[in-house]
């Protein structure tokens, strides 16, 4: 049985405090279900931004998309998570990842480490957070018990297995490091490659043995409103996204077409990949809103 759709907005830009509040209120008006903040140097600090978002809205949940586990340690993170969950009235969803931009670690004076070391650290963080947030003797306490829903984002086998074992939401990034380009430069994965990741995740016994189906998320990198999908795909292919025009039309990280066509694409992708939790970036907040309206109409 398919899960119902949810729509998240990953808000990259802060502006002034007044502008931030306007963005959050507008997102609620447009029907977004989750207001999200990433974790990158040069972007808003996630937790104060989320507390403010919750204060000026009433319906959407709020979440991190995703926290870089390498920026903190589990004890400090547990305090931030519990406090934010309490201040938002139990509306927090906690997204965690390893981080993928070496330059940010170097700027912050933090170790980068190998991919394996970063996954090891994330694993320890997830396990220790579970222990601390679920311990009634540890204060402050989160509003949600034994803690906020956990989202883990990634592509590799170890990340997918970690998500299968611990996360209520698995975020399939649908992107990878672009070969031969600056570290942190990403390119899109094809629909077939994403399908392989989904199949690998679903095949882990930790995922297959769940009594409640975990939610599957995808971050849509571009929303292109057009009456000519093929022409738009040809233009995108010229940008060097790692896929040709035909592949771009099928990539689950892109939506191209009219609102009705995009709604059909989302339904097809839920059927094929299980993606029911769809996240877009704030520059397309208004452009994607008619798709949400189309989906709500059924």
Q: Identify the pLDDT of residue 1.
A: 65
Structural domain boundaries, residue 73: 6-296
Task: Quote the number of domains for the chain.
Answer: 1
Give mean pLDDT, residues 158-179: 91
Out of 10-14, 26-30, 205-209, 230-234, pick the least confident.
205-209
Instruction: Please give the pLDDT value at position 298.
Output: 73
Asked whether the predicted pLDDT for residue 183 surpasses 80, the reply is no
Average pLDDT, the chain: 95
Q: Which two tokens stand for residue 94?
A: 């906690």
Residue 158 lies in a domain: yes
pTM for the full model?
0.96
> What own/partner pairs with CB < 8 Å and gap ≥ 24 does 194-199 have?
194/218, 194/251, 194/252, 194/253, 194/273, 195/272, 195/273, 197/155, 197/160, 197/172, 198/172, 198/273, 198/274
Looking up residue 83, the CATH number of its domain turns out to be 3.20.20.30
Closest CA to 245 of 222, 229, 258, 263: 229
146 domain-assigned: yes
Which residues in 183-222 are b (16+ Cβ under 10 Å) and which e?
eeebebbbbebbeebbebbbebebbeeeeeebbbbbbbbb
1 in any annotated domain: no
- Render pLDDT for 22-76 as a digit per residue (tens, 0 to 9): 999 999 999 999 999 999 999 999 999 999 999 999 999 999 999 999 999 999 9
- CA dist 236 → 202, 240, 246, 249, 274 (Å): 31, 8, 11, 10, 26
**Mean pLDDT within 4-29:** 97
Q: Are 171 and 218 in contact (CB under 8 A)?
A: yes
What whole-number distance in Å separates Cα of residue 265 and Cα of residue 34?
21
Q: By the 8 A CB rule, do 297 and 260 touch?
A: no
pLDDT-based confidence at residue 222 (cuts at 50, 70, 90):
very high
């Amino acid at each position: 049985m398919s899960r119902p759709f949810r729509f998240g907005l990953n808000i990259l830009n802060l502006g002034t405090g007044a502008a931030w509040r306007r963005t959050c209120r507008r997102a609620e008006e447009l029907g977004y279900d989750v207001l999200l903040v990433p974790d990158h140097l040069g972007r808003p600090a996630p937790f104060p931004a989320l507390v403010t978002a919750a204060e000026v809205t009433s319906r959407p949940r709020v979440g991190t998309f995703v926290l870089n586990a390498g920026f903190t340690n589990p004890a400090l993170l547990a305090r931030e998570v519990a406090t934010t969950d309490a201040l938002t009235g139990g509306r927090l969803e906690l997204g965690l990842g390893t981080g993928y931009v070496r330059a940010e670690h170097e700027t912050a004076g933090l170790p980068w480490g190998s991919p394996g070391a970063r996954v090891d650290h994330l694993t320890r963080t997830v396990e220790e957070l579970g222990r601390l947030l679920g311990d009634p003797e540890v204060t402050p306490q989160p509003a949600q018990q034994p803690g906020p829903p956990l989202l883990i984002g990634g592509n590799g086998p170890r990340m997918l297995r970690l998500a299968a074992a611990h996360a209520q939401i698995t975020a399939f990034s649908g992107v990878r490091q672009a070969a031969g380009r600056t570290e942190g430069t990403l390119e899109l994965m094809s629909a077939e490659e994403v399908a392989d990741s989904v199949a690998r995740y679903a095949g882990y016994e930790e995922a297959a043995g769940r009594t409640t189906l975990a939610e599957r998320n995808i971050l849509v990198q571009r929303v292109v409103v057009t009456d000519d999908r093929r022409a738009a795909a040809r233009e995108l292919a010229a940008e060097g996204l790692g896929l040709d025009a035909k592949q771009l039309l099928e990539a689950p990280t892109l939506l191209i077409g009219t609102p009705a066509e995009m709604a059909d694409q989302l339904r097809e992708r839920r059927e094929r990949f299980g993606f029911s939790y769809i996240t877009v970036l704030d520059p397309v907040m208004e452009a994607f809103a008619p798709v949400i309206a189309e989906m709500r109409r059924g």
